[in-house]
């Protein structure tokens, strides 16, 4: 939060603006850092009213703390230097240190789509001008500071005179592509975006025709659609690859326990699929039947995992009638029978013990693709922005060991169209 806020503040300063819209602002950590530590005027937008209310509660706490600090040591609160680069990896500490001249922070509940910013801004202006909010937007009044002081900025904002910055931290799934399209279609001048949850992206259903227009989350760029189509590939990654793009194998050493548990689940999953194929409960040449979550607690042995998974599958409609009949018969054997499920499954695991190393090697090699997949997703966004004539870069904000989503996409609208690089 601290580093991203600093980057946004520097960009805003360099381009002579204080106006920021934070999309998918959640509990408002970034918005408050921008308003209270860097003195920017922030419109914080989130689709979820629970998030908005939480952010407003934190904001009131921050306000109270700021007043106490100012009352105690007014001269100290002038000493704050908002443009100092962050030194550590710590998250911006609220309620600590001195406060700068504050910006205005306004919250709104609004589901952002690429077409909705005008509606959002119009609703906010209506509320500010006439004390009424638009139907689909709930905005609060600026909680502190002189609200009228920002009125000229609002007028400038509306007429497009003041450059403004569109940002978002951990804009999950399609919120990132929607933010980019909003940036392109609005009069925003600067964009800073950090995405997350690539698994939630929608993908283009179109399998041919690089020129087809799409509102899908991936691919966005003409470049990638052309490239994939030229190579005879469908312009999509699929859910497994999108899940993989979220992984952070660089953090395995520092998260040994969680990594070990994740591997065990994958190993058990692979072993169970083999067991089901060998016992006529699944086909060999199609994907393994989906099992989904089996509760929060890690299951201690392969037998415990497999029995929980098989019971879940027995209640589902994911198997053929024949496969389902075999599964029910297997689970029905009584506990003292030598063919009891637990005994059979443990014997199967012992017989295939060598497979653990093969699965570990495969799992590791596969996970090493994660950074490349994330880069591909982000490079697609960079190309999309450049194709629209804007400068765009990816900036590494910090060591990904600290937090996996360390790449920020930055774009600046230029007077001259930016060259499109391959």
Write out the residues near ligand SAM by the rule CB under 6 A. 24-27, 29-30, 45-48, 51, 111-112, 169-170, 172, 175, 178, 196
**Following DSSP, what letter does each residue of 183-195 receive, concatenated?**
HHHSS--EEEEEE
**Nearest distance from residue 90's CB to ligand SAM, in Å?**
15
**Nearest distance from residue 25's CB to ligand SAM, in Å?**
5
Q: What residue number has its CB nearest to ligand SAM?
A: 26
417: Cβ contacts below 8 Å, ≥ 6 apart: 389
3-state secondary structure of 73: coil
183: Cβ contacts below 8 Å, ≥ 6 apart: 166, 191, 385, 411
For residues 47 and 369, which CB has a smaller minimum distance to ligand SAM in the complex? 47
**Nearest distance from residue 395's CB to ligand SAM, in Å?**
17
**Nearest distance from residue 24's CB to ligand SAM, in Å?**
3
**Following DSSP, what letter does each residue of 134-153 receive, concatenated?**
-TT-EEPPPSSS-GGGGHHH
For residues 19 and 25, which CB has a smaller minimum distance to ligand SAM in the complex? 25
According to DSSP H, which parts of 301-340 are helical?
Answer: 302-315, 321-332
**Nearest distance from residue 214's CB to ligand SAM, in Å?**
18
For residues 47 and 333, which CB has a smaller minimum distance to ligand SAM in the complex? 47
Q: Which residue has the tokens 């799934």?
A: 173
Please report, for residues 40, 152, 156, 276, 318, the alpha-carbon distance to residue 161 in angstroms, rounded to integers and kept in the order given: 17, 11, 5, 65, 58
For residues 114 and 387, which CB has a smaller minimum distance to ligand SAM in the complex? 114
**Nearest distance from residue 108's CB to ligand SAM, in Å?**
9
Instruction: Give me 14's structure tokens.
Output: 């360099």
Q: What is the Cα–Cα distance from 28 to 36, expressed in whole angstroms?
A: 12
Residue among 161, 160, 66 nearest 117 (CA): 160
For residues 126 and 172, which CB has a smaller minimum distance to ligand SAM in the complex? 172
């Amino acid at each position: 939060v601290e580093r991203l806020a600093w980057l946004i503040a520097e960009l805003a300063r360099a381009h002579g603006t204080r106006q920021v819209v934070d999309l998918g602002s959640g509990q408002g950590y970034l918005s408050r850092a921008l308003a209270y530590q860097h003195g920017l005027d922030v419109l914080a937008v989130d689709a979820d009213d629970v998030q908005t209310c939480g952010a407003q509660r934190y904001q009131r706490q921050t306000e109270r703390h700021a007043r106490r600090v100012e009352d105690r040591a007014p001269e100290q609160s002038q000493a704050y230097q908002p443009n100092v680069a962050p030194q550590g990896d710590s998250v911006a500490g609220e309620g600590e240190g001195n406060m700068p001249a504050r910006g205005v922070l306004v919250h709104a509940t609004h589901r952002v789509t690429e077409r909705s910013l005008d509606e959002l801004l119009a609703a906010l202006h209506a509320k500010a001008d006439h004390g009424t909010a638009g139907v689909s937007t709930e905005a609060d009044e600026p909680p502190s500071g002189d609200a009228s002081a920002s009125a000229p900025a609002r007028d400038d904002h509306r007429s497009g005179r003041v450059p403004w910055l569109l940002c978002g931290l951990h804009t999950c799934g399609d919120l990132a592509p929607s933010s980019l399209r909003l940036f392109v279609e609005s009069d925003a001048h600067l964009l800073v975006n950090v995405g997350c949850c690539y698994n939630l992206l929608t993908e283009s259903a179109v399998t041919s025709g690089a020129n087809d227009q799409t509102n899908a989350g991936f691919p966005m760029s003409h470049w990638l659609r052309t490239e994939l189509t030229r190579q005879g590939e469908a312009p999509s990654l699929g859910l497994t690859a999108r899940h993989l793009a979220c992984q952070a194998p660089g953090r395995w050493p520092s998260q040994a326990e969680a990594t070990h548990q994740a591997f065990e689940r994958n190993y058990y999953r692979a072993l169970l699929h083999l067991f089901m194929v060998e016992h006529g409960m699944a086909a060999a040449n199609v994907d393994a039947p989906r099992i989904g979550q089996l509760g929060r607690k890690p299951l201690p042995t392969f037998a415990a995992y497999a029995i929980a998974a098989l019971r879940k599958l027995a209640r589902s409609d994911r198997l053929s009638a024949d496969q389902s009949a075999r599964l029910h018969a297997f689970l029905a054997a009584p506990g003292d029978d030598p063919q009891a499920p637990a005994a059979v499954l443990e014997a199967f695991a012992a017989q295939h013990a060598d497979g653990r190393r093969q699965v570990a090697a495969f799992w590791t090699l596969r996970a090493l693709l994660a950074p490349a997949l994330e880069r591909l997703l982000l490079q697609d966004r960079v190309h999309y922005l450049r194709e629209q004539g804007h400068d765009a870069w990816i900036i590494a904000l910090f060591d990904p060991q600290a937090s996996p989503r360390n790449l920020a996409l930055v774009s600046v609208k230029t007077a001259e169209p930016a060259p499109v690089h391959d």
